[in-house]
């Protein structure tokens, strides 16, 4: 089977080359062609012999994406729809955002999502599979090429649940981190999860240095299970236990995401419960004005309520900020990604 050469860490690629009878240092040369010189074909790797280039072509693909569509928001945010060229016609979305500290790409980790969160537009997309490492990495390469910029930050907040595709996401992070590949440090990568508890323990034991974000959205099990079915499998108590273990092991702060929906989870009683839940923890709260989706039952909190909620948390000693909404006019904001919109 032809394998995508971008799926491999440098060490793995060395092994792959040895398997086909080549010297391992060739892997470093290939990495340079792909990640420094950004070539898009084996033929362009001109310091490799023609024979070797042929051999590479027979054993590997190079995994380039095609841009099917690109939308640009009034705030400069760009949403990309990619043809991932997997022979099955699968398309994925990624978003490029500009902040004062640089450019951030919001990557997808799966084709579709199994989590079924009620407020999220990715729910309802047919789940196909997790993305391979090379397909995660290629989202960044393709955007850097198209926008002619260098990305400084990555957030795993596009379509999919990264911890439901754990091994591929970890491998992608290794490639993203590698100074010979994308050279983006772990501290510039955020991974957001709906709360797959066993994998949070794995991240802790691995001492992962990326920022971990937990999609909390509610402090009581009944409401959270209604919003996020995964809560029935891993309820809040178990989730918080895993988070505490993670903080203890890594000494890193966790970011809790809380999407505010009018009259659902946005009154001061909810804020007070959140204070009680997070008191004494190395935590930060990221408040997200909920983005309304088609046929969704949740509506956005008023600005007044959002500010009141934030101020209450801050007064009680919990650091909370309101996430700036980017790209909502092109359906590129949190929870709006849904490839069908673009296919129709």
Distance, in Å, from the CA atom of 294 to the CA atom of 272, rounded to the nearest integer, reads 31
Binding residue for ligand SAH (CB under 6 A) from 92, 259, 278, 285?
259
Binding residue for ligand SAH (CB under 6 A) from 327, 335, 338, 339?
335
Distance, in Å, from the CA atom of 115 to the CA atom of 339, rounded to the nearest integer, reads 17
Binding residue for ligand SAH (CB under 6 A) from 95, 96, 111, 157?
157
Q: Which is nearer to ligand SAH, 45 or 95 (CB)?
A: 95
Tally of helices (H runs) and strands (E runs) in the chain? 12, 14
Minimum distance of ligand SAH from residue 294's CB (angstroms): 11
Minimum distance of ligand SAH from residue 109's CB (angstroms): 8
Q: Of the ranges 135-143, 204-212, 286-294, 312-320, which one interacts with ligand SAH (CB under 6 A)?
A: 286-294
Q: Is 4 in the site for ligand SAH (CB under 6 A)?
A: no
Nearest CA among 151, 138, 148 for reference residue 105: 151
Minimum distance of ligand SAH from residue 209's CB (angstroms): 19
Residue list 292-321, contact with ligand SAH (CB under 6 A): 293
Q: Which is nearer to ligand SAH, 9 or 215 (CB)?
A: 215
Which CB contacts under 8 angstroms, 24+ apart, belong to 16-24?
16/59, 20/55, 20/59, 22/52, 22/55
Q: Is 231 in the site for ligand SAH (CB under 6 A)?
A: no
Q: Which is nearer to ligand SAH, 61 or 265 (CB)?
A: 265
Q: Is 161 in the site for ligand SAH (CB under 6 A)?
A: yes
Minimum distance of ligand SAH from residue 323's CB (angstroms): 8
Yes or no: say if 91 and 343 are a contact pair by the CB < 8 Å rule.
yes
Distance, in Å, from the CA atom of 96 to the CA atom of 103, rounded to the nearest integer, reads 7
The residues pairing with 257 across neighbouring beta strands, listed in sequence order, are 215, 286
Minimum distance of ligand SAH from residue 295's CB (angstroms): 12
Tokens coding 68: 């099917």
DSSP state of 110: E
Q: Is 77 in the site for ligand SAH (CB under 6 A)?
A: no
Residue list 170-229, contact with ligand SAH (CB under 6 A): 192-194, 215
Q: Which residues contact 82 (CB under 8 A, 6 or more apart)?
A: 65, 66, 67, 68, 91, 92, 93, 94, 138, 139, 142
Distance, in Å, from the CA atom of 104 to the CA atom of 106, rounded to the nearest integer, reads 7
Residues lying near ligand SAH in the complex (CB under 6 A): 115, 117, 119-120, 157, 161, 192-194, 215, 257, 259, 288, 290-291, 293, 334-335
């Amino acid at each position: 089977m032809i394998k995508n050469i971008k799926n491999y860490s440098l060490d793995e690629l060395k092994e792959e080359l040895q398997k086909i009878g080549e010297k391992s240092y060739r892997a470093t040369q290939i990495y340079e062609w792909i990640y420094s010189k950004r070539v898009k074909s084996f033929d362009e790797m001109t310091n490799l012999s023609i024979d070797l280039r042929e051999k590479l072509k027979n054993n590997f693909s190079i995994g380039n994406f095609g841009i099917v569509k690109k939308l640009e928001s009034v705030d400069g945010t760009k949403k990309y729809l990619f043809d991932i060229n997997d022979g099955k016609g699968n398309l994925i979305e990624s978003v490029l955002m500009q902040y004062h500290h640089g450019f951030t790409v919001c990557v997808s980790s799966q084709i579709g999502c199994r989590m079924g969160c009620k407020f999220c537009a990715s729910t309802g997309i047919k789940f196909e599979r997790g993305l391979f490492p090379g397909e995660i990495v290629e989202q960044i390469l393709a955007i850097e090429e198209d926008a002619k910029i260098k990305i400084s930050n990555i957030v795993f907040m596009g379509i999919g649940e990264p911890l439901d595709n754990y091994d591929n996401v970890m491998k992608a992070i290794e490639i993203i981190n590698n100074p010979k590949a994308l050279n983006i440090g772990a501290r510039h990568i955020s991974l957001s999860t709906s709360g797959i508890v066993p994998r949070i323990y794995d991240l802790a034991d691995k001492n992962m240095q990326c920022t971990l974000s937990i999609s909390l959205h509610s402090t009581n099990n009944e409401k959270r299970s209604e919003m996020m079915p995964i809560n029935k499998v891993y309820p809040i108590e178990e989730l918080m236990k895993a988070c505490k273990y993670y903080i203890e092991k890594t000494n890193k702060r966790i970011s809790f995401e809380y999407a505010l929906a009018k009259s659902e989870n946005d009154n001061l009683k909810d804020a007070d419960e959140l204070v009680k839940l997070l008191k004494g923890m190395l935590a930060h709260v990221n408040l997200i004005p909920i983005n309304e989706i088609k046929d969704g039952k949740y509506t956005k909190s008023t600005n007044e309520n959002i500010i009141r909620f934030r101020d209450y948390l801050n007064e009680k000693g919990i650091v909370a900020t309101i996430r700036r909404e980017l790209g909502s006019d092109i359906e590129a904001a949190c929870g709006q990604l849904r490839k069908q919109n673009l296919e129709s």
